[in-house]
A and B are shown apart, each in its own frame.
Chain A
Amino acid sequence: MGIIQLKSLTKKFNSLAAVDGISFSVEEGEIFGFLGPNGAGKTTTISMLSTILKPTSGTALINGFDMIKDKADVRKSIGIVFQDPSLDEELTAYENLTFHGVMYDLKKDMRERRIAELLNLVGLEKRKNDFVRVFSGGMKRRLEIARGLMHHPKILFLDEPTLGLDPQTRANIWDYIKKLNENEKITIMLTTHYMEEADKLCDKIAIIDDGRIMALDSPQNLKSIVGGDVVSIKSPDTKKISNAFAKEKWVNKIKIHDGAIDVSVNKAEEMLPKLLKITNEIKSEIISISVHKPTLEDVFLHFTGKTIREEEASAKDAMRLNRRLWGR
């Protein structure tokens, strides 16, 4: 049935449709990725799903509850890590978690146990009584993840969980997310504009652009839609090789350019020996061979006609980033 079901969810800001009637569902236990460039409507969608932004039209069922009619039940079912920092820096890590626990009706002994457990999970047990203001960006992010999990939510929303973090911290956070999904059996919906993040983490990916869903499938399937792998062979004999390859059924497409020949095949690593055997038989010289596997970048380009440029963060995001890095 889907633990999250969006039904023509729409949000208009004046005339701009930031989220334009999207419908899909997320299965229980999945890590679901919401991939799109800045301004695509990811945060707006998450804000609506977490009940802090009212949709213009449409609705969603979350853990079986209607996000408009059963707000309180939806709120108890979800945990969320917002794109922008949302900790109280003047409080300690422990106080931030306690505040959250009380807000979600956790009794004192239960709360204490959960705080210990989660600080341990995110590796902050030694920093329990430090003020959040002295934490690094990565530590704050981990604390926010711990906080989002305090009340045992069925679903965890992560809005750009690694935005502005260095590669090592990012990899750490990915580990935590994987671990959570496995150990706590929690459904995770994350948004990102990092291809690698979506590819490494997610069981399913929805590509969103200009408020509309352009594609939705597993990363593998999405990549195979774009076409198989491409083997690029550099050789003085491109004509001859091309003619020989053209006779083979398992070759999808051949393209010659600048002294190289691009052969589209499925499962390039298994086809390489066959290709080499043929070139040997016709005694063609080969200068170099390279294999290119389609990336989500290609998928994205295919479905939206644009590339996602990570460095092209909008001015707003750059500001947010600074705020996170410098603790303001």
Chain B
Amino acid sequence: MRKVYIIWLREIKKYIRSKSRVIGTLGMPLLFLFVLGFGLKSRISVNNGDYLDFIFPGIIAMSVLFTSMFSGISVIWDKQFGFMKEMLVAPISRTKIMVGKTLGGATTAVFQGFLIFMLSLLMGIRIHSFSGFIVALAFMALIGISFTALGISFGSRMEDMQAFPLVMNFVIMPLFFLSGALFPLEGVPKILRMIALINPLTYGVDALRFGLVGISQIPLWIDFIVLAGFCVLTISVGTYLFNKTSV
């Protein structure tokens, strides 16, 4: 346990120390919140509600998604800068290394989501209930763990950061835009709705919206089952691929 803890702690320390990463990953979600939320506030209303209220849970999910995918993929840095060898040669199983890194990435991702949440409060957004906030926090953790593990899966297969833009353009961006974070699932073309429904992030966004705003398009228990299942899947795949990665 101490070993998993020190791996987790290393991730946290590196996160806190790289201020550019903290600020860099805040930028995009804030821009979305600002431009879409405030820009379209008076034009669009979803389910008779305010568009800003509608999208801000999605923006929190976005920030958790970006941060966790990025920290997962950062195993490539560990490989390139050699620290991976230090971990692999130590008397600890690779699975435990994977667990420590996943928890570390998820923690930073949830924290990043929490920052967006606080900034949203400053912008005048009000949440629905405190218990709802706890539900949202739990789902942020699920999203964080799932996508850190997915990031580690990619990172384990990649040699260097050159493939990162590919992952950004063909995995992370589509995951976000096709997740129902920006549009409601009803009243959109069928194909869009279908795609959104096979995207696990959709269920995370829906649960966050339920917790924070009180609107929901999918029953919470379905959100939970889908996301928990996805989480188990990504952890299994991540562990398998990380066990096979070579340095």
Contact = CB atoms under 8 A, between A and B. Distances in A.
B91 A72 contact: yes
Contacts of B246: 53
Contact of B14 (A52, A76, A90): A90
B89 interface: yes
Contacts of A99: 6, 10, 86
Contacts of A53: 246
Interface residues of B, number: 22
Interface residues of A, number: 26
A103 B6 contact: yes
Interface stretch (A77-85, A192-200, A288-296, A298-306): A77-85
A91 B91 contact: no
Contacts of B91: 72, 75-76, 103-105
A100 interface: yes
A38 interface: no
Nearest to A82: B85
A95 B82 CA distance: 16
B87 interface: yes
B82 A85 contact: yes
A87 B89 contact: no
A208 B96 CA distance: 37
A50 B85 CA distance: 10
Contacts of B90: 75, 100, 103-104
Contacts of B222: none
A151 to B, nearest CB: 9
B89 A50 contact: yes
Interface string B14-58: 100110000000000000000000000000000000000000000
A88 interface: yes
A86 interface: yes
A52 B3 CA distance: 19
A52 B10 contact: no
Given A88-B83, A103-B3, A80 B89 contact: yes
B134 interface: no
B6 A52 contact: no
B3 A85 contact: no
A100 B89 CA distance: 11
A75 B89 contact: yes
A86 B6 contact: no
Contacts of A169: none
Given A90-B14, A90-B18, A91-B10, A103 B92 contact: yes
A52 B89 contact: yes
Given A91-B13, A102-B6, A103-B92, A52 B86 contact: no
A86 B82 CA distance: 4
Nearest to A50: B89
If over half of A's interface residues share one DSSP class (helix, strand or loop), that class is named, otherwise mixed; here it is: loop
A309 to B, nearest CB: 26
B2 A102 contact: yes
B81 interface: yes
A95 B88 CA distance: 18
A51 interface: yes
Given A88-B10, A90-B17, A91-B10, A52 B88 contact: yes
Interface string B66-91: 00000000000000011101111111
A82 B14 CA distance: 23
Contacts of A104: 90-91
A89 interface: yes
Contacts of A147: 86
Contacts of B2: 102
A316 to B, nearest CB: 14
A52 B13 contact: no
Contacts of A84: 82, 85
29 contacts: A75-B91, A82-B82, A82-B85, A84-B82, A84-B85, A86-B81, A86-B82, A86-B86, A87-B82, A87-B83, A87-B86, A88-B10, A88-B81, A88-B86, A90-B13, A90-B14, A90-B17, A90-B18, A91-B13, A91-B14, A99-B6, A99-B86, A102-B2, A102-B5, A102-B6, A103-B3, A103-B87, A103-B92, A147-B86
Interface of A: 50-53, 72, 75-76, 80, 82, 84-91, 95, 98-100, 102-105, 147
Given A86-B81, A104-B91, 20 more contacts: A52-B247, A53-B246, A72-B91, A85-B82, A86-B82, A86-B83, A86-B86, A87-B83, A88-B10, A88-B14, A88-B81, A88-B83, A89-B81, A91-B14, A100-B86, A102-B5, A103-B6, A103-B87, A104-B90, A105-B91
The 3 closest A-B pairs by CB, nearest first: A86-B82, A103-B90, A102-B6
